[in-house]
Structures are given as structure tokens and as C-alpha cells.
Amino acid sequence: MNFTLNVLGTASALPTTERYPSAQVLDVRGRLFMIDCGEGAQMQMRKAGISFLKIEHICISHIHGDHIFGIFGLLSTMAMLGRTAPLNIYAPGSFKPVLQFFLTNFGEGFLYEVNMTELKMTAPELIYENRRTELLAFPLNHRVEAFGFIIREKMPQHNVYKEAIAKYNLSIAEIGTLKRGEDVVRKEGDETVVIPNSEAAYIPYAPRSYAYCSDTAPFPELADWVRGVTLLYHEATFPAEMSEMAAKTFHSTTLQAAQTALEAGVGRLLVGHYSSRFTSVDFFLDELRSIFPATDLARDMDVVEI
């Protein structure tokens, strides 16, 4: 049951020879969610072996170039490959004229629909769901309108122990009750008999979740909004010593990203969106782990199992 993050780019603003701009693809049980689409994203997808035609959803955090300059090429390639399945894009309203310009000038002959959902929420809000997965968006704190995303599995139905079916002679209706997570309550003569769900059924797996927070300066609500996610991706554009630059540009430092992870009680922290000032960001890790030990640095082409 895949819940796999493909990191395609970890640069901020300027690409480098080692880092492409922001782009990620999350594989949730074979359904692909792309988050941001910086320049060169489709080249990284080819290297990673990610199918262009299996991308169902593209989430755009904001319309700074390092997060969207790859989307024209990607959409064109999808068309040239004969895509017919609709594509869903979730983005701030400011992306709408950008998309319309592209479709007007370069969309002739497209065999697939591009459906855009405008993001304008003030707190986490569900923007898409299927039987097993939810996609939420929430506002970030950046120089322009920007949004973060949470992709999470829904709580699965309970499985009923086979031995419990025989032991309690469970009916089909009672099995359904246990699958919903409820206790079975029976009347046996004048007595009420309860078969506890905890004895007869179990949750087959713990739902996994992923939150994406880039670009953003710290703000009080964020920790609550991403509380308890399995993996948090948070920008760490600057080291701690550049806190003034971070504040000026509405970005985060290593310590601020780690503090958010700590306050949110997340399982793991992954950081990226590194300033091009630094050829190596290995020293970031000591700063991050001084506050939140379960932290890793994202690298281009990383594949992270969540």
C-alpha cells in the first residue's frame, strides 16, 4: 500500500547544479498527487520513472516562479502523450489567468480537461476526497497568497477476527456493526450481552498523513493545523543565523521549522527549499535536530516511504 513521496526539487528561487526548484509527487496507493511544479519538474519525473499520465492532481502553493515555471511544459507533454483523463489543479486565484493564458495560446488540440479549484480558505478545508484519501488545503504566511496541503488516508474499516465470528456466532449484520467500529449489543432473554469491538475486531493499519508547508514564515496556527501528521515537509530556506533575512522574505529558518514540528507533535520532519547561497546544507541538520531529532534533509530525487 504505497504512501511514497518523490522529492523532485529542493531549491528556493534559483536552481543550482545540484538542486531543481520545488516539485514533489506523492503516490497514495497508486494515485499520484503532484505538489508544486518548478522548472525542470518533468525532467526529474522522467529520471524517477514517474508516469505523466498517472498524475491526477496538481497542488500549487503559490505563483512564485520557482513553484510553477515547470507546469507549462508538463501540461504540454501530457497532451502530446495523448492524455484523455481530466486533470485537477488546486491553486490560488492568482494562478487562474496564468493557466488561461497557457490554454488559450498552447492548449489547442488538448484531449483532456484541466479543472482548476481556486483556493481561498482561512483554515484547513477539504478540497478533494475519494474512498480512501482526503486532500486539504490551508493558508500559509508568505509575501503573496500561499497555501499548504495535507494528504491523508481515511480511517479504514475494522477487520473482524475470523475466530470471533465462530466464537460469537456473529450474524452478517453484527459483522457490519463491528466493521464500523461499534460494539455488538444482543438481547439474550432478559439479559443484554455486549461483544466489545476491541475483542472482536481490529484496525488493519494506522492511517498515514503528509503535510507540505512551503513557502511560509512561522505563524501561531500552523502547528495546530498539521498536528500529528506522519511526515511534515517544511521549508528551511535559511540557517538560524539568517533569521532577519527569513523574516524579511517571509521564509523560515532551520530552528523555526524544527520548532513547528515539535509543537505539532509530528512523526518526522523533512526540510527543503534551501537558499542557493549554500552549496552544502549539511550543517543545517545539527540545528534542526537540536530541537527536533527526527529530522532529515530532503535531497533531489529522494524517495521517502511514509
Which residues are designated catalytic? 66
Q: Which three cell numbers stand for residue 74?
A: 508538463
Rounded CA-CA distance 94/62 in Å is: 8
Rounded CA-CA distance 304/306 in Å is: 6
DSSP string, 84-100: -S-EEEEEEGGGHHHHH
Do residues 246 and 238 make contact, with C-beta atoms less than 8 angstroms apart? yes
Rounded CA-CA distance 36/302 in Å is: 16
Do residues 161 and 201 make contact, with C-beta atoms less than 8 angstroms apart? yes
What's the maximum distance between 2 C-alpha atoms anywhere in the chain? Answer: 78
Rounded CA-CA distance 279/18 in Å is: 8
Q: Which three cell numbers stand for residue 89?
A: 489543479
Q: Which three cell numbers stand for residue 152?
A: 491523508
Among candidates 274, 305, 236, which has minimal Cα distance to 6? 305
Helix (H, G, I), strand (E, B) or coil at 95: helix
Report cis status (omega within 30 of 0) of the bond before 215: yes
